[in-house]
Structure 1
């Protein structure tokens, strides 16, 4: 059983006790052993100017020919055609490919009984952690074999597992796309600390602490999306990690936010990290799948490749994270975001601009 301990705020003039985990050095074979030196809070929260310039240059090098096929496909089908395309891709659970998921069900490690976790690419928690299971999968984009870890929202019983996973994979960016409560239902356990607090989680004697460092509301160039950016320090098993937690507050369950540039800007910031980006909503497949599909397309664009057909991309994602993208609206949202991105970057000719206006009008009618 996990024990959730809220540490009291330190009193001025007192000397903090040293953690036992820090006093005992892990054995050499410990997979989490790493340098004690961590990047400063500023470095985690703000990418360097050189890295930002590199990102901008990559965007400038996108060729119109890379997106001609994709744009033609989207505009010709329109929202109604894309809805039919999505409906033709049936969702199902092959539990023979999810044996660890079934075993973990008995220990209360799964949030939903009907949302499985594939065995072939599941995240495995390494020793000395008591169990290797967490409901999470590595998901690749064309040029990054472990671009994402798609996972369910932490349960009270899985908070320690979640943070150990972040330590193990040296995660620098976490996307939380749900709220703790939605429509009166519990969607996520409170797994990260609020202002000036520290939380401690435990799994069979293995403790992990998560400390609040700073927080602010993200500012986007042309969006009112509400995303809270919080810098956290995670310590446990002889390792220390600074990570940035992005909580998208106003993304509705099974719905879609405004299809503006907020998500593209957020991905551009997180993309600078070489480590996997952790993404979760409640089940870790709907809103989460939308983010993954957009980044899959962006990865192709930024690396000079032609964007694949949408249904083929989604099929590849679902082979890694079962049943990703749950609704037609989420599927349409992915396409509208990409089309708006092309418009923002002035990649459309005049004919495409007119067709895009028509597509946008039909999109809004479809999702609202």
Structure 2
């Protein structure tokens, strides 16, 4: 008898998955109720879970254990003598890093226009991070003088049980636009994934009333802090906000704030997604720029929903991240964030299919190697080593982007940021000889060959 049929009968498994997807709130979303009532097939879902776990285990990359090689020749201290045998280890995490390089390669860049963000640069935190025109949210509420721009993109697809709006942390000059967005879309949940101590600094404006029974007026809306709950979730601080307009209409919004930067915490995203999944209205998610932690959360949900609904892909996380970038440009920035998506999804399916073989040991070895690199941590998360953070203050994986120009809007056949090509061949002309081509002696940054 099949293991799943023996230990997890269809009815029992159906309830188990429903409990993982559904919150304690009885008013779940219409999409979620319809899926579990009419389209859910426990055996096919279990089959997709197992295929995903199998693809994670099998998609490995060879990593050298020691030695430096050039064209498969060992470069040691001795020029002569027996060659040292190359030793490799097959790394699951190395395979994930390779998958991320494929996504991030310029060949797979999805061209898009960004005329609105170019016109309103004062409302963008980073000029390099553009807002796609085709998926941006256009503000219509209280639209004075045609000011309809906000750096926010809607992620809406039949794959998801609810829609998301990914945006940057509000600036002092975009707080009013943010609340226009909340009211216009009827948003009931806001997920702030950076530290609450960031509010009031240059990383995030203090856009909501922090203290109970306080409030302010903005764009014809009255925002009041009704209560603050720090016991509902061990990680997040939940603030209930009541928004009213002049006509007497009201909207209750839950503001969840927590610094989702520790890669060791793989349960916090699942608790957040269980809350958002049960809503019929869009959920706003933001971090600093809206392309790292916020994008990771939505990519996790896209992967989980794909495993539940189908179809079957060989690499669901790669498919989810690439698909997400068609809504929010350059979402998921680093291999660490990409690997974190896998770890959270594997945690979601673990009660039904178990632990992937040798994955944790491989992850610990990868972390040990990562810890030797020059990371600088977040002072707001001082008790977590910098190399374990999803978005460290200084991330070597992003250093190659610092002095480069903006990415081109067309596909290219080579990656824009992998490696540094040497200076092209030089042509020298002397008095008594014909022009000759010589190899330069310097790299572009002044280093000799």
* TM-score bin, normalised by smaller chain: 0.7 to 0.9
Q: Which residue does the alignment assign to 1:90?
A: 104
C-alpha distance in 1 between matches for 2:252 and 2:198: 29
Q: 2:338 aligns with which of 331, 337, 340?
A: 331
Q: Which residue does the alignment assign to 1:264?
A: 270
Counterpart check, 1:232 vs 2:241? yes
C-alpha distance in 1 between matches for 2:236 and 2:213: 20
Is the CA contact 2:157–2:163 (under 8 Å) kept in the aligned structure 1? yes
- Correspondence 1:3-14 to 2 at 5 A: none
Counterpart check, 1:170 vs 2:195? no
Q: Which residues of structure 1 form unaligned runs of 5+? A: 1-45
1:251-286 C-alpha deviation (Å, 9 max, x unpaired): 23xxx4324322112211221001111000010110
Is the CA contact 1:210–1:232 (under 8 Å) kept in the aligned structure 2? yes
Shift of 1:359: 4.1
Counterpart check, 1:284 vs 2:290? yes
Q: Which residues of structure 2 form unaligned runs of 5+? A: 1-22, 61-91, 371-386, 389-449
Shift of 1:47: 5.2
C-alpha distance in 2 between matches for 1:161 and 1:122: 13
Q: 1:208 aligns with which of 206, 221, 231?
A: 221
Higher strand share: 1
C-alpha distance in 2 between matches for 1:49 and 1:291: 23
C-alpha distance in 2 between matches for 1:128 and 1:319: 29
Q: Which residue does the alignment assign to 2:279?
A: 273
Q: Which residue does the alignment assign to 1:132?
A: 148
Q: Specify whether residues 196 and 151 from structure 1 end up closer, same or farther in structure 2 by C-alpha distance, changes over 3 A only.
A: same
SS at match of 1:112: coil
Q: Which residue does the alignment assign to 1:65?
A: 47
Counterpart check, 1:48 vs 2:25? yes
Q: Which residue does the alignment assign to 1:354?
A: 357
Q: 1:241 aligns with which of 251, 254, 259?
A: 251
Q: Specify whether residues 158 and 95 from structure 1 end up closer, same or farther in structure 2 by C-alpha distance, changes over 3 A only.
A: farther
Higher mean Cα deviation, 270-279 or 140-149? 140-149
Q: 1:296 aligns with which of 299, 302, 309?
A: 302
C-alpha distance in 2 between matches for 1:358 and 1:234: 49
C-alpha distance in 2 between matches for 1:142 and 1:337: 22
C-alpha distance in 1 between matches for 2:356 and 2:125: 44
Q: Give the total of aligned pairs.
A: 306
Shift of 1:216: 1.5
Q: Specify whether residues 85 and 270 from structure 1 end up closer, same or farther in structure 2 by C-alpha distance, changes over 3 A only.
A: same
SS at match of 1:313: helix
With a CA cutoff of 8 Å and minimum separation of 6, indicate the structure with the bigger relative contact order.
1
- Correspondence 1:335-346 to 2 at 5 A: 335-343=342-350, 345-346=351-352
The alignment yields a C-alpha RMSD, in angstroms, of 3.2
Shift of 1:346: 2.9
Q: Which residue does the alignment assign to 1:153?
A: 169
- Correspondence 1:186-197 to 2 at 5 A: 186-197=202-213
TM-score (norm 2): 0.61
TM-score (norm 1): 0.73
Over alpha carbons, which structure has the higher Rg? 2
Shift of 1:101: 0.4
